[in-house]
Structures are given as C-alpha cells and as structure tokens.
A and B are shown apart, each in its own frame.
Chain A
Amino acid sequence: MNYHWNWTFFFDVADDGERYFQWILSGLGWTVTVALCALVIALALGSILGVIRTTPNKWLVGIGDAYVEIFRNIPLIVQLFLWYQVFPEILPKGVGDWVKQDLPDVIPAVFGLGWYTAARIAEQVKSGILSLPRGQTNAGLAMGLTLPQVYRYVLLPMAYRIILPTLTSESMNIFKNSSVTYAVGVLELYFQYKQIIEKTNQVLEITIVVTTIYFILAFSVNRIMAFIENRVRVPGYITSGGK
C-alpha cells in the first residue's frame, strides 16, 4: 500500500466552512491561551506554597507539603477529570449544574493545569529559598525587617533568579501539558490535530506540521526565558546566564 501524500489539503475547505489551516491556527491560539493563563495561576499559587513551606509555622508547612504531595502524585488527566466531572457532583446541586452547563470547558481546564503545575513550582521555589545561606534571613531580621519583608526584599529576588532555569523547563512543560486539556473539551492544537486526522486521513503531513509547531513553541519559550534570565542577572553572582 502506498501512502498518498497531499500537502495542499491544508487549504481545502472543511465541514464548517473554514479551511484546515485555520483550524490549526485556532488550535494554536487556544494552546497559547490555556498555557499562559495556567502559567500565571501556577506561578502565583506555586510561589505562595513554596514560601509557606519555608516559614517557621508548622501548620503552613503542613498545608504546603500536603498540597504538593497530592497534586504531584496524581496524573494530570485524572486531575482534569476530577475538576471537570467529579467536582460539580460534590457541590450543592444548583452550583454544580451551573458549573457543568454554563461554565466554559476551558475554565476548569486552565485551573486544573495551573494547580497541577503549581505543585511543581512550589517545590522549585522552596528549594530556591532553601539554597540561600541562612545568614541572609537572620541579617534581614537583625536589621529590623519583618519576616514578610525579609521574603520580599532579601530572599525571593535571589531565589527566583536561582530557579529560573528550572522555571524555564516548567514553562515549556506547561505548553506541552496543555495538550491534555483536549480530554475535557478544550479545542486546542492537539484536539484540532486529532480532528483533522479523522476528517482527512493525511496523518503524515499533519503530524509533521503540528510537531513542528510544538517544537517552535517550546523553542520560543526557551528563548524568552533565556532573555529574561540574562536581563535580571546579578553581575558577578550567577554566572550561568541562559546562553
């Protein structure tokens, strides 16, 4: 059997009147939207969790540790199904129905992906803070800063710079992981990929194109983070700028 190559099918008109390449573009748009929104959530929540896991308060540490263990040890697709299918069931009926029927699918997907990634970022923020010499906290406190001020002005600015390389790979991961949200109804790039295969059977062409797009996405995120890493570098302190 010979495979029938057809590179022009991207310009063919699909069932809904759009062309196939427009499906890909709209999928790409959703992939970027979902990934960026989830990244914002993950960075915010992950930073809070990472910080509270380094505080002297046992309860806060416990909460942070529990969160990280739970969200790290359950597969992403299972977590998304929990938010999408199980969570509305345990809410009061009225609210649950609203979540199921009126809330756009992309909302639980973005939060699910964000909360999942937050656990990983929390782990990195924690190790970033712990990698700083203990004397820095004490020096800050001795100068009369409050503990929140020590975090804000002394620990976090340095900790973030230290963990930038790992944050880079986490940002690349979130773009890749956003493909899993197709399972809960987000019309992102992987969904369109699957759909175009079902409609046209041109597996090889579309695989080459979509793989290239994902590759370029990962590469762009990598370059943007390297740029940030270079810009915020403290002279003479961290030598491994993202080259």
Chain B
Amino acid sequence: MSGFDFAVITANWAYLAKGLRYTFQVTAFAMAGGIILGTVLAMMRLSSVKPVSLFAAAYVNLFRSIPLVQVILAFYLIIPIALAIFTGEMKPIGAENSAYFTFTIFEAAYYSEIMRAGIQSIPKGQVGAGYAVGFTYGQVMRFVVLPQAFRNMLPILLTQTIILFQDISLVYAIGATDFFGAADKINQRDLRPVEMYMTVAVVYFVICFSLSRVVRHLQQKIAIIR
C-alpha cells in the first residue's frame, strides 16, 4: 500500500457527493411513502374485516422474511414485465428509478409493524370516547389515535429510517450509483480501495452516529412529556 492518498477523494468528491445526494433522496422518498403506506397497512391489519387484515398480515410477513437485496433485484426486473402488460412494450425503467419504488414498498412492511404497536399503545377507552362524541372511524383515527401513535413511535420510526439510510447501499445489487456505488465505481477505475471504502465508512458513521444521538435526545424529551 502506497500511503493514504487524500487527493483521490478530493478529485472525485463531486461524484461522491452526487451519490450521497441520491442516497438521501431515496431515503426521504421511501420514508415518507413507507410511513404513509405502513400506516394504512397497520390500520388494515387491525381491521375487523378478516380478508383485509389477512392481506396486510401476509404483506408484512412476506416482506419481512425475504432479504432486501433479493427484493431490489426482483423488482428491478419484474416491474418492466408488469408494466408491459398495460403498455404492451418492454421498457427498462432504470436502476435509479426502481429503487424509489422498491424501498417504499419494502420499508412499508417495517414501518407498518411500528405503527401497529403505536396504534395499539393507545388505550381503547379513547377510541370509545371518540365514537361517543359522534366521530366516524376516519375521524377517530385522524384526530385521536394516529397523532398520539405517531408521536409515541417517532423515535422508533426515525431509528428505522437510519436503518433505511444504511440499506440504500444495497442498490449495489442493480448497479445504481448511490454513495457506496459511486465509491465502488471510482475504485474500479482508479483501484484505490482503501481511500474509497474508508471514506464511505467514515461518512456513513458520522451521519448515522449523529442521527442516532438526535433520536436518543428526542426519545428522552418525548418520554418526559408523556
């Protein structure tokens, strides 16, 4: 090894930053979409209508028992086949685009388990009280249950988002250029594994460590209010 060469990092920083931006974008998109879809799934799972709750349970259990890399590749390949049924022609959608969709669908299963715990943490009496003052199911959820469930579960939802942020690196499987993918591609051209992978590791560590500190702080704050 010929010494740690910072020049390789600075020379390629723009490319790395672009990858990091993509990682953040997918994280933000999948978090928003995943929490919305996950909340719907959680409500379905707790529904008294049997087929609805069975569907939600099957969805969640299926995605929670298969590896993310497999889902990433499978969706990347299957989405064009599924689209072809409607449009009649096979058009590749691109690795970068398919990741937005895949992570939303996949993470929804995990967010849904968190939201289910959140909904179940609200005392039943509050739901009954809501109906008693004339709220519909939607209003009880919207004004009574979900705001509290959301707040109680906020630290766990954010912890899951940190995991999601790390998991974006698995788009390596379809060759998308996220932060890790960018570093990997530079390494394949310049053969500087030490500089490239160490940079990725350090940046990931700094971001995730700081975020988890913020979450811990938040957790204590919320705990006091509750």
Contacts and interface: CB of A to CB of B under 8 A. Distances in A.
Interface of A: 1, 3, 69-70, 72-79, 81-82, 85-86, 89-90, 96, 172, 176-180, 182-183, 190, 193-194, 197, 203-204, 207, 210-211, 214-215, 217-219
A77 B169 contact: yes
Contacts of B180: 75, 77-78
A203 B65 contact: no
**In terms of DSSP, what is the predominant structure of the interface of chain A?**
helix
Interface string B100-141: 000000000000000000000000000000000000000000
A63 to B, nearest CB: 17
Nearest to B90: A1
A85 B73 CA distance: 24
A88 B140 CA distance: 59
Given A69-B209, A211-B70, A77 B1 contact: no
Given A69-B209, A86-B194, A215 B169 contact: no
**In terms of DSSP, what is the predominant structure of the interface of chain B?**
helix
B55 to A, nearest CB: 17
Contacts of A70: 205
Contact of A75 (B67, B78, B167): B167
A106 to B, nearest CB: 17
Contact of A1 (B89, B193, B194): B89
B215 interface: no
B24 interface: no
B154 interface: no
A178 B70 CA distance: 11
Contact of B65 (A72, A178, A215): A215
Given A1-B88, A190-B69, A82 B74 contact: no
Contacts of B184: 81
A162 B224 CA distance: 26
Contact of B198 (A82, A182, A214, A218): A82
B183 to A, nearest CB: 9
